[in-house]
Amino acid sequence: MPDIKILYQEAIRLFKSNQMEASARKLEEALHLAPQNPDVLEALGVIYGRLNRFDEAIELMKKLAGVDPDNVMAHTNLSQFYVRKGMIQEAEHEQAEARRLSWKADLRAKKVSDSDIEKLSLEDEPSKLAAIERKIEQYKKVIEFDPNDVLGYFTLGTAYTQGKRFSEAVAAFQKAIEVNPEHSPSYVGLGEAFEALNKKEDAIQIYKRGIPVADRRGDIVPLRKMESRLRKFSQPNL
């Protein structure tokens, strides 16, 4: 029986060679073996989208959202596919859901404070770091598949931040903003990564750039975060 991992890797190779139909066939074979594999569902959905098979792509992304309710990319891709079909209301709904999950992931990443981390036992730390590394590899794979995936870069940056790899987080968030200058949560992530590197002026400039973006888009959570950070910078002895 073919190995799912081998089929997936071969599909990615074919995708990079612009052999979309052949890549889809490999992924269809993998999906038959593992109907709920999130990586296969997402990859095949993306390829169906590239092949203008939007109805099939939408069904796969809906299934992905069912298998993994917190999967931001499922809703991001759904939004894109609905736009291509002219279903604007549905696209806006999915875009809003992707944004909500993006904020949720961002907030969840900040839940563990520095003091909480210090309280972790030595036995806990390797497990936590291993989980973060798994997330980083997962998000790298998303970007490898679609180099223009803003949420892929955002979630990668968030994972790097969790792992205290702040220079790499900066690069990921900068790429997210380059891909989509309107993605306000990435300004928050980038500013906080600069702060962690003691680059105060860089953080201030990013927050100043990001606040009008968040305000224009009505992104309240990122807006309030950036305004709060700027206020703290204005306090003496910061």
Where a domain ends, among 77, 101, 125?
Answer: 101
pLDDT digit string (tens) for 59-86? Answer: 999 999 999 988 888 998 898 899 888 9
- What pLDDT sits at residue 126? 57
- What pLDDT sits at residue 171? 96
Of these ranges, 80-84, 104-108, 175-179, the one predicted with the greatest mean pLDDT is 175-179
**Residue 4, pLDDT above cutoff 90:** no
pLDDT band at 148 (very low <50, low <70, confident <90, very high): confident
Q: Does some domain include residue 107?
A: no
Residue 147 CA to residue 29 CA, distance in Å, equals 25
Do 67 and 129 belong to one domain? Answer: no
**Residue 54, pLDDT above cutoff 80:** yes
pLDDT digit string (tens) for 149-158? Answer: 887 888 889 8
What's the number of domains the chain is made of? 2
Do 40 and 74 belong to one domain? Answer: yes
Do 93 and 135 belong to one domain? Answer: no
**Residue 204, pLDDT above cutoff 80:** yes
Residue 217: give its domain's CATH number: 1.25.40.10
Q: What percent of the chain is predicted at pLDDT more than 70?
A: 85
- What pLDDT sits at residue 127? 59
- What pLDDT sits at residue 7? 92
Do 147 and 235 belong to one domain? Answer: yes
Residue 153 CA to residue 171 CA, distance in Å, equals 9
Q: Which residue range(s) make up the domain with 220? A: 114-238
Where a domain ends, among 101, 133, 150?
Answer: 101
pLDDT band at 28 (very low <50, low <70, confident <90, very high): very high
Do 175 and 225 belong to one domain? Answer: yes
- What pLDDT sits at residue 111? 46
pLDDT band at 118 (very low <50, low <70, confident <90, very high): very low
Q: Does some domain include residue 200?
A: yes
- What pLDDT sits at residue 178? 95
